[in-house]
Structure 1
Amino acid sequence: MAFIKAISYYLPEHVLTNEELVKEFPEWSVEKVAAKVGVNSRHLSSNSETAGDLAEKAARKLFEEYSIDPKSIDFVLLCTQSSDYALPSTACILQHKLGIPKTAGAFDYNLGCSGCIYGIAIAKGLVAANIAKNILLLTAETYTKYLHPQDKSNRSIFGDGAAACLISTEGFAEIGEFDLGTDGGGAESLILKTGAAREPKPNGKESVDEEGHVRRDDYLYMNGSDVFNFTLDIVPPMMQNVLYRNKLDQDVVDYFVFHQANKFMLSTIRKVCGLPKDKFYINLENTGNTVSSTILIGLKNSLNDGTIKTGMKVMIAGFGVGLSWGGTILRF
């Protein structure tokens, strides 16, 4: 068996409020942004601050908060789509910076909104195979560096941040069975086209999509309606698969912490899946969508405020860029 033993997170110091954002887009109002996406402010990484820097700070918070000795870590996983270098893996650099033993394994994996779930699944597999006993799972993203200054939609949604989680042979939340899935046919729906091996140099190309949004190859592009429809298609069957694999009925699940994409999407998912408000986590107000870190941030906040208690069964799920999705049950 594998368990979550500790969770912490770190948010960059600089905060961008809706009041500051709408000064750049006078056609919007503070109330409109808050109502549409559920975000009042978001944290932005500085020009010199990388995903690796955020992950390091989240890990150090974890070590301090739970009195964890870095020398007890025997594997490091880092989920990021904004790694410090093309190579080597940022996880390898973090192993050295954090004082984790050289006997530890370490690697990055490139996933977004489902990345936390995949990381927990990988960590559980490492424990089950007796490869590692104390896995440091890190999620860190600096998506705001990929956004065009005039992309008001995505700038209102995304924030930067990192989370750290220790997965071990004992802990406060037992990790259940998983449902995972992928549809790479939807890759174009959320993509940054240039900057990697397929097209390494910026090309300056711009076009207008069917929703009237400007699509820029050199910046992150998200087709909101495609991603929304994909989410509504996959979340209900994914939930049922998670319940089936964990031998549970929906009404015995005490709480649901899903990827915090935006308020409208989450509210629609909740209604479509027939979930009561008091059992469904929505809280993007002061963080925005931090991509792979939203679920761990949600779990930490819910533990801190007493919403999640010992004895509860909690479903966690992520979905988005890839296109990719995954879910599992945590038994506290």
Structure 2
Amino acid sequence: MGARIAAVDYYLPEAVLSNEDLSREFPEWSVEKISGKTGIDRRHISGPDEFSSDLAIAAARRLFERDGIDPQSIDYVILCTQSPDYYLPSTACIVQDALGIPTSAGATDITLGCSGYIYALGLAKGLIESGQAAKVLVVTADTYTKFINPADKSVRTIFGDGAAATLVTADGSDTSLTAMTYGTDGSGGKSLIVPNGGLRAGAALQPKADTAVRELVASGYDLYMDGPDIFNFTLRVVPETVEEILAKAQLEQNDIDLFVFHQANAFMLEHLRKKLKVPAEKFFVSLAESGNTVSSTIPIALADAERQGALVPGMRVMLLGFGVGLSWGGLVATW
């Protein structure tokens, strides 16, 4: 008995931050410059009283309603977030209760960002194939914009908030989710960090994240990203991981019908596509209307690809996430 992705949907907050809005705040960056650098036109921003659990609940309800899924049938919840509502209780417990999922279900948070969807799918696959669960709800939800210093235009142009819900169920074959591949390099943790608001001062890990060094007025969390370091890491790790996934799956690159990678920004994705020599029609990009939603970019792109007819049943799709941690992971799914 294997595991498969049975359904996927997502939710974005109502409030929108457009390139026009950003250009008014930062006149030195035109609308065209922002769009050209990022491939993003708009980002959805969580409200002051809207948090990761709210987005997660909305995404799951949308999935349940669209696909006629009974919450009582869910026997495990995996919630991936790096912006939990509280240190404790876990956000997964809040979501389980709000959705009316049985108290007999397991529910746990995992703390991963850009690679988190892959890791959550791997855990769901393990639960199902070991007989511990039959229907796993995988939810990704992040509100990174709450971490961003308002004066830091370098990250305000990139990140948006959102959540996605995926139902992973038991399958009659073992070929639906295959070639699970993971990687971790914690020495790069200093490249993308929220230095403030935790129990330890972030300057101990990354001195450059200190707001005084960045000439910013501290605003609470003050997310810091070393863009060039993340970019170089991605260009090095992603091609190696693609080869590793293909080797595990015993496939050639031409056997993959669609590539859906973490939607970091259009500039980086185009570099990767060219480096890998993947035809544009087989490389799905979907971030213009949502931005980089961290753990939710891949499931949002999958849902968009399905709606646009770019992803249809029977296709082999390679999923690959990479980023904060540093962490990466990928797999091949039969849709």
Same-fold call, TM cutoff 0.5? yes
Give matches, 1:7-156, under 5 Å. Answer: 7-156=8-157
Shift of 1:171: 9.2
- 2:211 aligned partner: 206
Shift of 1:207: 4.7
2:317 aligns with one of 302, 307, 314: 314
What is the aligned-residue RMSD (CA, Å)?
2.0
Distance 1:181 1:79 in 2: 17
Helix, strand or coil for the counterpart of 1:176? Answer: strand
Shift of 1:10: 0.1
User: Against the structure 1 CA distance between its residues 79 and 171, is the aligned structure 2 distance closer, same or farther, given a 3 Å change threshold?
Assistant: farther
| Equivalences, count | 328
Specify the code of the residue in structure 2 equivalent to 1:221.
Y
1:181 aligns with one of 169, 180, 183: 183
Question: Are the equivalent residues in 2 in contact too, given 1:60–1:98 (CA < 8 A)?
Answer: yes
Helix, strand or coil for the counterpart of 1:163? Answer: strand
Helix, strand or coil for the counterpart of 1:178? Answer: strand
Distance 1:150 1:262 in 2: 20
Specify the code of the residue in structure 2 equivalent to 1:117.
I
Helix, strand or coil for the counterpart of 1:136? Answer: strand
Structure 1: state its 5+ residue gaps. Answer: none
Distance 1:207 1:184 in 2: 25
1:196 and 2:198 are equivalent in the alignment = yes
Specify the code of the residue in structure 2 equivalent to 1:50.
F
Specify the code of the residue in structure 1 equivalent to 2:199.
A
Distance 1:206 1:96 in 2: 39
Of stretches 60-69 and 217-226 in structure 1, the one that deviates more from structure 2 is 217-226
What's the % identity of the aligned pairs? 52
1:239 aligns with one of 242, 246, 263: 242
TM-score (norm 2): 0.94
Question: Are the equivalent residues in 2 in contact too, given 1:3–1:171 (CA < 8 A)?
Answer: no
Distance 1:235 1:205 in 2: 30
2:231 aligns with one of 228, 237, 252: 228
Specify the code of the residue in structure 2 equivalent to 1:242.
I
User: Against the structure 1 CA distance between its residues 171 and 36, is the aligned structure 2 distance closer, same or farther, given a 3 Å change threshold?
Assistant: farther
Distance 2:210 2:126 in 1: 42
Question: Are the equivalent residues in 2 in contact too, given 1:208–1:215 (CA < 8 A)?
Answer: no
User: Against the structure 1 CA distance between its residues 273 and 19, is the aligned structure 2 distance closer, same or farther, given a 3 Å change threshold?
Assistant: same
Distance 1:60 1:282 in 2: 25
Helix, strand or coil for the counterpart of 1:169? Answer: strand
Structure 2: state its 5+ residue gaps. Answer: none
Distance 2:224 2:202 in 1: 17
Question: Are the equivalent residues in 2 in contact too, given 1:5–1:171 (CA < 8 A)?
Answer: no
- 1:293 aligned partner: 296
1:327 and 2:326 are equivalent in the alignment = no
Alignment deviations for residues 20-55 of structure 1 (CA, whole Å, 9 cap, x no partner): 111000001000000100001110000000000000
The ranges of structure 1 where at least 4 consecutive aligned residues each deviate by more than 4 angstroms after the TM superposition are: 213-217
- 2:259 aligned partner: 256
Distance 1:187 1:320 in 2: 10
Helix, strand or coil for the counterpart of 1:16? Answer: strand
TM-score (norm 1): 0.95
